[in-house]
Amino acid sequence: MKIISWNVNGIRACSKKGLFSFLADHSPDVACFQETKATRDQCDEIEGELSAYVNLWHSAQRPGYSGVANLHRVSPLSHQLGCGIDEVDSEGRILVSEHEAFLLMNMYFPNGGSGEERHQFKMNFLEKVIPFFKKMERKKPLVLTGDFNIAHREIDVHDPVRLDGESGFKPEERAWMDHFVAQGFVDCFRLKHGDLKDQYSWWSYRQGARKRNKGWRIDYFFVSEALAPKVKRCEMLQAVEGSDHCPLLLEL
């Protein structure tokens, strides 16, 4: 099974930059998008491309903001929009689809960089979401993917000294990632590639950061430990443009 995950930074904008040609080239069984910035009924201009898939959308109540969506080649067994945390679910941040051997969670974690209030919102979300993961894991093993808006280790940012304490690389965020991994979730990229350096999934649009590879690894595939032996391949497709993030690919 092949799964693509991509923060598209606006699905309509990304569609004009080759999104559906990319999907045609890679033929994923499921494509998980974050930061769609649209509802399904706002996508008339890409209706033909979308209609080739089974669509699942969890959009934010606020127009043009946040949102996640899945495109499936075959309908999942079931799905769930949100995690039961009202203030998070109103922003369209989690979509769960059930497959034969696992539950797939497409997630767009809050960005805490716009002030103390949003940082606290993010930390409250982090505190509540692991119990949700563990509850869902009792049903089936998990595949968790998306934009976590956190770089876990120093190796995951281009300048860990200068960026120490910045949103997305704060000590308390990184400590949460440590705790998350300790709960039995395996980072698929590191599982397959070890401590390979200079591997990033997001680059600022400023100062030619992408050409200079001044990036952050904040997009992930994690799996429950029970699924780790099934991970065949996990890549960050860094040559693919169309967003300030690159797509991720997981093969199970």
| 44 tagged catalytic | no
What pairs with residue 245 in β-bridges? 202
Q: Of 147, 156, 187, 219, which is the active-site residue?
A: 147
- The residues annotated with a catalytic role in the active site are 147
